[in-house]
Structure 1
């Protein structure tokens, strides 16, 4: 086992052929990163490698360069297969291969991923690619159809294995590893090393060389991390202040849900910022266009979900804002890994609600790095910065060759309106300000305290009289009105497992595995609870997706089409493989009894025991405001 932190040799000392060295010099690569210096010689020597290093450390070149060095282009079947957790990462890795192989004649790499039509992939496979890079679900589909042959595979790479585990692809990964030739070289790379990944390595890579790149922190040292406690102010207003004052090039703002990314992008656009949303509902072609616009500087802010942003590598990302705190520490590490890459400095900002302080401490423990408190810019700071930018525009205009025409316009306007130059200038300043609202008060309505994405969807002062109270809004996730039960035409007779279904749907629909609810596997079909707001084109695509070589043919479950499906107790991620049994990380559990299900609530927020045919009891017109009134109400109810 090698443990690298020392100074590294140059690329010339690693044993790479002259053509690749020339390409690296043209690309401006001067010295290998620690993971590259430790991994390249081992892979060139034919050894299996188990590499652990954080994101953004150059893992792609660490496995791509040795593969290219040993490759003989022009073979009829692929010599190397790279599994990646997301479409974005698969495309990125394929582009990296193409870049490094620019000096190799006849080289062909093919990315294969969900969300793309099969026809281009089939045509690409017929041409005989040297390297295939793909997501596990689509790779399994092609293996099942016989359109991808790996019987002559020389190298298999698992990139970001922990993310594939997190997204539910672990069964597909095992399936691929069972199919490759015994002589195939294997390389596994992961930022973390959870037990399921270790077990795969122990079974399939018993003689692997372990390479761990240790650092003082698990996050980039050149990324400054700050947090702001959400208190007394709407998060959107806080983000606006940061955008107004912070000097940033490109920014990714992470939100938990697809709806939140879309609403946030729209609201930022309304405030004068160039923003776009990236989530699972965005078609693949449009996703690629959005990323290209971000790279070219046509948009500056990307609002994204975790799944949609994985694999993004855009040089100009200087800031990452965790608008919604992630569900776990690994997601946080992957989020802020989008900035501070390849030696560049970066900024990571985390919004933390008071009730989320526990997760903040968990993140600090996991990253072994304290996150400093952030002082939010004041209204004075924001308005002063706006004035600086406005004055800079005026200075540039004063140097313009079109000033003479502007003076003539001013003279004509003064004569026509009979006003002073000062008033005219003030009016022009208001016009120039456009839709940028001037902030005037540091204080915010109390209803914004401890606010989050859910609260932002409908401000409190806009709620109808029949809207739920704050208590009800917070317990919305317990009611689970956001899931609908769908039927898919694959079941136990086809050999399907819950992990196969989760992995395929998560990747093809752009969902996080945590958004998928109960799964019931029957003999020849299954049911799965999915978000009720799935787009029509997403459902249409899922109908054609194949799992265990069977098309899903997804449709709303006829037994639950009239009402939203309920999620099993404990939230998402519990799946059943037989009726009456629930599956989660701790193992199978008995299905919840009907008496355990959530009960209706009265205006006081407490459960009732009213039978279905029992007449409604009179409700209080005004809720109790004091402890004495509440006690009196309780006594009155007991008497009735």
Structure 2
């Protein structure tokens, strides 16, 4: 892989790259930057969200701009305010050593006169949302008649949001001889129309496969009854105690309702949708970036501005109407080389959509079961033990220890540990002890059942065994690297290890029973970097909420879709301003205690 220096960037940009800690360019940067620096050409670049597209067009644009002139030379159009601000901030970081270069953001929800004044003071690069830019052109507050470069970022999403006419009107005010660079995650026919109408013999680069999903994301689906979507969502969250996720709903109404219910149940949740004021949106996004919100419930439009690299999960509470939208959703996780997981909660009537998405993104979904109550209890028990182990001691407690020791003097060590764990664990156990199975059979054919039993946690003819292992994310493992580690250590085929579920400081995985003796013997006295790695058979063999499973079975006949729609219409909706807060812990019962 080339270094940034080999791409043709000048010294001010290389210095900025060094300050930002970038080492090697991403694939889209390695392909796009030399083309844009060496040629005066239009460009169509197809790459998933999170692959570094802003730097791919930002570095060449900054290097080509004449910073000694105050004329607006570059226009970047993006679909949302959040993305507009994100691009602007990144360009300012990239151009920190370029004297005189000024980048201004233009978006709705802020003072239009102040934005106009910023442009008058000199803005070589303008980053704008289509609606506000069109408004300012109409008021003659901005002049883009002399620009040299126009960038259409997230072009597919701008068109999905209905900005086609705005984009046409904006481009009509730009010079014919400008260069146009179009960046998009997918290439639907509407984007092709834009490319043909406003671009001249563009070069095209594709990162991965056209319209395909990113390889760092694993796709899973869970089949439940229509009434069980919300309980299923809570169980998926409880199975991943350190979850940092975006939960997607189709409508603003459902987004608000789900967020309110999560907050009421004690989860750190917030809502992000178009009915919130700009101030409310800013508060929610700031809380999410600081991880004060762990579950951000959002509509597709509102989520376009989310640019956070360490999102662990995307949860599709409802599937979108358009397959391209699913690609954008799943692209929220697995960014910047990290792995992620995209979960889909579906009813049987929606199973045919899974196959359509598979064909589009060219990746297989894995059929998973909603975890049982006892599986969740086990995961939360280990998580609590890990939290106690890793908690930093507050020396301020020293003054209270003599009295505390006096209270606990008659309790031995083992009983004391049980009591400490039981303080939190008992209420969790009591809630889930007799909880029902939320899973619905997915109607797969006979030929697929046997193939997919293990990926769904069922007993095969050889049996499926679930194991606990005392390494996790803190040891720099994710589901992919842990699966590879186990495969290599145990000398097994990659498919022999499945349902790999990585938590903060521990993990679970499954194999067929024939491998159990070998696994337990291998890890009986096994060290990695001087630390013992222990494996033991889990008390709950199902392992429904994990990652790294085998290929799914195919869906069969579904229920009447109208029935679920009628249920949705019957559900009540009450909007509250509190849906954007971080969800303080309630004293009442909740599913996710830790």
Fold conserved (TM > 0.5)?
A: yes
Counterpart of 1:24 (choices 7, 11, 17) is: 17
**Contact 1:75/1:130 (<8 A) preserved:** yes
The residue correspondences of 1:192-203 to structure 2 (distance < 5 A) are 192-203=186-197
Q: Give the corresponding residue for 1:167.
A: 161
| Pairwise CA distance, 1:403 | 6.2
Cα distance in 1 for residues equivalent to 2:121 and 2:320: 42
Cα distance in 2 for residues equivalent to 1:300 and 1:390: 18
1:340 aligns with 2:334: yes
Q: Residues 232, 128 of structure 1: CA spacing in aligned structure 2 closer, same or farther, 3 A cutoff?
A: closer
1:474 aligns with 2:562: no
1:13 aligns with 2:6: yes
Q: What is the DSSP-based 3-state SS (H/G/I as helix, E as strand, rest coil) of the residue aligned with 1:348? A: strand
Cα distance in 2 for residues equivalent to 1:181 and 1:315: 36
Q: Deviations over 1:536-568 (max 9, x none)?
A: 9xxxxxxxxxxxxxxxxxxxxxxxxxxxxxxxx
Q: Give the corresponding residue for 1:510.
A: none
Worse-matched range after superposition: 108-117 or 356-365: 108-117
Cα distance in 1 for residues equivalent to 2:220 and 2:417: 43
**Contact 1:272/1:435 (<8 A) preserved:** no
| Pairwise CA distance, 1:534 | 9.8
Q: Give the corresponding residue for 2:363.
A: 369
| Pairwise CA distance, 1:150 | 0.8
Q: Give the corresponding residue for 1:592.
A: none
| Pairwise CA distance, 1:276 | 1.2
| Pairwise CA distance, 1:472 | 7.4
Cα distance in 2 for residues equivalent to 1:299 and 1:342: 21
Q: Deviations over 1:603-631 (max 9, x none)?
A: xxxxxxxxxxxxxxxxxxxxxxxxxxxxx
**Contact 1:56/1:337 (<8 A) preserved:** yes
Q: Deviations over 1:178-212 (max 9, x none)?
A: 21112211111222223332233223212222223
Aligned length: 454
Counterpart of 2:433 (choices 414, 428, 440) is: 440
Q: Deviations over 1:19-62 (max 9, x none)?
A: 11121122222222232222222322221112222222222111
Cα distance in 1 for residues equivalent to 2:322 and 2:366: 19
Worse-matched range after superposition: 267-276 or 83-92: 267-276
Q: Deviations over 1:269-320 (max 9, x none)?
A: 3333211111112222332232222222222221111111113111221111
Q: What is the DSSP-based 3-state SS (H/G/I as helix, E as strand, rest coil) of the residue aligned with 1:310? A: helix
Worse-matched range after superposition: 69-78 or 341-350: 69-78
Structure 2: give runs of 5+ residues left out of the alignment: 443-560, 578-594
**Contact 1:278/1:305 (<8 A) preserved:** yes
Greater relative CO (CA pairs within 8 A, separation 6+): 2
Cα distance in 1 for residues equivalent to 2:50 and 2:421: 47
Q: Give the corresponding residue for 2:147.
A: 153
Q: Deviations over 1:68-121 (max 9, x none)?
A: 001122533311000111112111111111111111122221111122232331
Q: Residues 128, 209 of structure 1: CA spacing in aligned structure 2 closer, same or farther, 3 A cutoff?
A: same
**Contact 2:300/2:329 (<8 A) preserved:** yes
The residue correspondences of 1:370-389 to structure 2 (distance < 5 A) are 370-389=364-383
Q: Give the corresponding residue for 2:36.
A: 43
Worse-matched range after superposition: 178-187 or 281-290: 281-290
Counterpart of 2:251 (choices 246, 249, 257) is: 257
Cα distance in 2 for residues equivalent to 1:473 and 1:316: 34
| Pairwise CA distance, 1:432 | 8.5
TM-score after normalising by structure 2: 0.69
Q: What is the DSSP-based 3-state SS (H/G/I as helix, E as strand, rest coil) of the residue aligned with 2:45? A: strand
Counterpart of 2:63 (choices 57, 65, 69) is: 69
Q: Residues 108, 433 of structure 1: CA spacing in aligned structure 2 closer, same or farther, 3 A cutoff?
A: farther
Q: Deviations over 1:337-395 (max 9, x none)?
A: 01111211111111111111121111111111110011322211111223233444555
1:279 aligns with 2:370: no
Q: Residues 275, 534 of structure 1: CA spacing in aligned structure 2 closer, same or farther, 3 A cutoff?
A: closer
For the aligned residue pairs, the C-alpha RMSD in angstroms reads: 3.5
Q: Deviations over 1:147-169 (max 9, x none)?
A: 01012211111111111111111
Larger radius of gyration: 1
Structure 1: give runs of 5+ residues left out of the alignment: 1-7, 416-420, 451-469, 483-531, 537-640
**Contact 1:295/1:316 (<8 A) preserved:** no
Name segments (4+ residues, structure 1) moved above 4 Å: 392-401, 409-415, 421-437, 470-473, 475-479, 532-536
Q: Give the corresponding residue for 1:34.
A: 27
**Contact 1:216/1:368 (<8 A) preserved:** no
Q: Give the corresponding residue for 1:603.
A: none
**Contact 1:217/1:369 (<8 A) preserved:** no
| Pairwise CA distance, 1:428 | 9.9
The residue correspondences of 1:89-488 to structure 2 (distance < 5 A) are 89-215=83-209, 218-231=212-225, 234-246=228-240, 248-392=242-386, 401=395, 402=397, 405=400, 408=403, 429-430=422-423, 438-443=431-436, 474-475=565-566
Q: What is the DSSP-based 3-state SS (H/G/I as helix, E as strand, rest coil) of the residue aligned with 2:213? A: coil
Q: What is the DSSP-based 3-state SS (H/G/I as helix, E as strand, rest coil) of the residue aligned with 1:302? A: strand
Q: Residues 24, 394 of structure 1: CA spacing in aligned structure 2 closer, same or farther, 3 A cutoff?
A: closer
**Contact 1:245/1:377 (<8 A) preserved:** yes
Cα distance in 1 for residues equivalent to 2:77 and 2:276: 23
Q: Residues 234, 39 of structure 1: CA spacing in aligned structure 2 closer, same or farther, 3 A cutoff?
A: same
Cα distance in 2 for residues equivalent to 1:397 and 1:200: 55
Q: Residues 449, 408 of structure 1: CA spacing in aligned structure 2 closer, same or farther, 3 A cutoff?
A: farther
Q: Give the corresponding residue for 2:558.
A: none
1:52 aligns with 2:46: yes
The residue correspondences of 1:605-620 to structure 2 (distance < 5 A) are none
Cα distance in 2 for residues equivalent to 1:274 and 1:357: 30
Q: What is the DSSP-based 3-state SS (H/G/I as helix, E as strand, rest coil) of the residue aligned with 2:431? A: coil
